[in-house]
Amino acid sequence: MALLARHPNPPARSRAGLRAGAAVVPGSAALSLLLLGHAQVPDVAGMGLLLDSGLIWLGAAIPALGLLALAARRKRVAVVVLVPALVWAFMFVPGMVPLAWSVPHTAGTPMTVASQNLQAGSGTAAESAETLADSGAQVVALQEIAGTARDSVAAELGARYEYSYQVGTVGLWSSYPILNARPEGLGLGWNRALSADLATPAGTVRIYVVHAASARPADHAERDTMLTSLARAIAADPSKRIVAVGDFNAASTDRHFAPLLDLLAEPRQDAGLAGFTWPASPFPVTRLDHVLQRGMSATSNTVLRAGAGDHLALRTSFTL
């Protein structure tokens, strides 16, 4: 009896704390490994695509781990939660710092590019085109121009931009002369992209307008082919200034998008955060649309609502 008195069973509250502490360490380790090694996770049944696309949202698990650490009431356990928190911050916070905090004050010729996936059948293609033109863009790139939207978009932008080029469901309108325009198959049997030279007052800017194939958990091979082909084309492109813009159907953390980020830079958002673009309603949860560049200084980068399509639009300004 005396022995039992000296070693009573721990109260239920203590047992709960022990269980919470036991979950924090492996949970923190697993989260850190997923963040750092997501590109190495096999893409079985689309799990790789889903993980890459939602990687930034894994940060939501960090507060949950923190609550478990508090329940454990052990300082060492709480310190463990700092590991995934620091990993997440290292990966995402630098890209979420507002561009307005560090806009370079460089003299040069300004150029603004606006882009949107119009969503075929949205019925508001002309409204989107008008909004993008009203944004002050010298260059407008559109994707998913289909059906009657072709005529309405052409009528809206044709009256405001002297130069244009369209192929398949993508189009380019510009205040600058468009030279050497051509379709880009990017490894597919049909054209969902184009490239052209823009003859700006500061010199030539090479532009790629892209509408990557759809990406679904069990079906994204064509999108992967397009992204790989685009990266190869840009790697071989000797142009000093390049813009690649459009709907890439890939998050910035997608393993198949990474080669493009090795070649081109994506500007931060004016107001910070991640600049999600899809779905436009009720609220975006990922960034499938991008403006990538090299050889220029970004002075502004933002998303805006245009029309009733399922993608928000992009508006990015550069100094050439």
The predicted-structure confidence for 150-180, as pLDDT tens digits, reads as follows 999 999 999 999 999 999 999 999 999 999 9
How much is the pTM? 0.92
pLDDT band with cut points at 50, 70 and 90 for residue 1: very low
Give the strand pairing for 242-247 and 203-211: parallel
Predicted local distance difference test score (pLDDT) of residue 306? 98
Structure tokens given for 76:
């060492």
Strands (DSSP E) found in the chain: 110-117, 139-143, 163-167, 170-174, 178-183, 193-200, 203-211, 242-247, 289-294, 297-304, 313-319
- Residue 268's region, left for phi above 0, alpha for psi from -120 to 50, else beta, is beta
pLDDT at 298 over 60: yes
DSSP 256: T
pLDDT band with cut points at 50, 70 and 90 for residue 4: very low
More confident of the two residues 106 and 264? 264
Per-residue pLDDT averaged across 62-89, rounded? 90
Average pLDDT, the chain: 93
CA distance 193 to 184: 5
Structure tokens given for 108:
């040069």
CATH of domain 106-319: 3.60.10.10
Predicted local distance difference test score (pLDDT) of residue 102? 87
Per-residue pLDDT averaged across 74-80, rounded? 83
